[in-house]
Amino acid sequence: MVSPSTAADLDQPGKRRRFRESPIGAFFFCFLIGLAASGEAATAPRPWESLNEIEAGARKEGKVVIYTSGGHASPQAQRAIGEHFMEKYKVAVEWTGLGGGTDIVPRLLAEQRTQQYVADIAMTGFGTVNAALKPRGYLAPILAPSTFEKDVWRLHPASAVPQDRDWLFLFMPLTPSFFINTRMVATPDEPKSYRDLLHPRWQGKIVIQNPAAPGTGSGWFYATYRLLGLDYLRALAKQIVLVTGVNDSVDQVARGVYPLAISPSNSRARQLVLEGAPVKFIHSKEGSHVATQGVHLLANSPHPNAAKWLLHWIYTKEGQTIYATNHQVPSLRKDVPQDYLRPDMRYVEGQPLLMPAVEDLTAERTQELRLLAKQIFEEGK
């Protein structure tokens, strides 16, 4: 779906050519889905050895410290994990909730630079943490044996960075393509495809968090711009209304200010659905945007065995069941039933997944894409 004009936009002077005019978008997404299904890259590293020693070390250390941003572990999930670990392993799980990667990164950089290590694990998005910490050697590989299991994954935890494994998906972070107010959108008018949003009926009635700023909007842009094409995005920009806050689009749809939001805040959207607001998730036929909600293991972890033991456990069937059911999200594992979720919040087996390319999440490329999003959604109207 990449048009010549799309390729020209991305092949600006001084920038590395990102893709040719061949149908690389289709290849890219097929590759990712195949990788997710296979469960392992061809050159996958070896897992950690001696789980018995790791568990024994975890019990001696007695605690693990996690920095988490919104949407990665609800209070209910934190309690359930903490109670389980204390009861079964005598390991306390200490959670520090922070706003997001832009809040977590300065703290982690300060700890690493001053050698005053506090956090063992960071649960947050991929781009900001990876760009800031990985080049400095502040991330450690997550080689949990549970993540090397075969034939159990809906989405493999290491599918985004299979060779490095210094960032893993925690769950199936499906951001609904569209979030609608069911009192304002009749069933026959519900969009089934991104192309449906170009219909005149949606002019000025679609809200999205600004894709040129960090948040759900930019994550959606990174995951979809290759597939949808820049010509489409320019046309869509004339249909939409931009908001600033990550939760603004969700709240305005729930209040009836706008009938439809693109790529809403996952955690806030789930909360409103569970509270019984007149809202609904819709996944487009092109596929669901997989948000980069995952986990990092920090180098120089003060409780390395406890951190490794928790990371191994959270990808086992038991761990995914406790985590996903309490966080109210689809599990990465196929052997965890989804009967705890409403039908519109479940993953449909075989559903296409739209994910950003790892090369698009470097600090340099992220800045380039933000400028491109600014041109399309702010300056191009």
Percent of the chain having pLDDT more than 90? 59
Beta bridge mates, 180? 260, 280
For residues 92 and 317, what is the distance between their CA atoms, to the nearest angstrom? Answer: 21
For residues 63 and 108, what is the distance between their CA atoms, to the nearest angstrom? Answer: 18
For residues 59 and 143, what is the distance between their CA atoms, to the nearest angstrom? Answer: 20
Q: Which residue's structure tokens are 């050697």?
A: 137
Tens of pLDDT, residues 187-234:
999 999 999 999 999 999 999 999 998 888 988 999 999 999 999 999
> In the structure, how many helices (H) and strands (E) does the chain have?
13, 14
Positive or negative, the Cα torsion across 346, 349, 350, 353? positive
Give the count of beta carbons closer than 10 Å to the beta carbon of residue 30: 11
Q: Which amino acid is at 375?
A: Q
Contact in structure between 200 and 235 (CB atoms under 8 Å)? no
For residues 260 and 190, what is the distance between their CA atoms, to the nearest angstrom? Answer: 9
Q: CA-CA distances (angstroms) from residue 300 to 31, 45, 321, 324?
A: 34, 20, 29, 28
Q: Which two tokens stand for residue 326?
A: 């309490």
Per-residue pLDDT band at 162 (split at 50, 70, 90)? confident
Model confidence pTM above 0.85: no
For residues 283 and 352, what is the distance between their CA atoms, to the nearest angstrom? Answer: 10
Rounded to whole angstroms, the maximal C-alpha distance in the chain is 64
Contact in structure between 356 and 222 (CB atoms under 8 Å)? yes
What does the pLDDT read at residue 11?
Answer: 36
What does the pLDDT read at residue 359?
Answer: 81
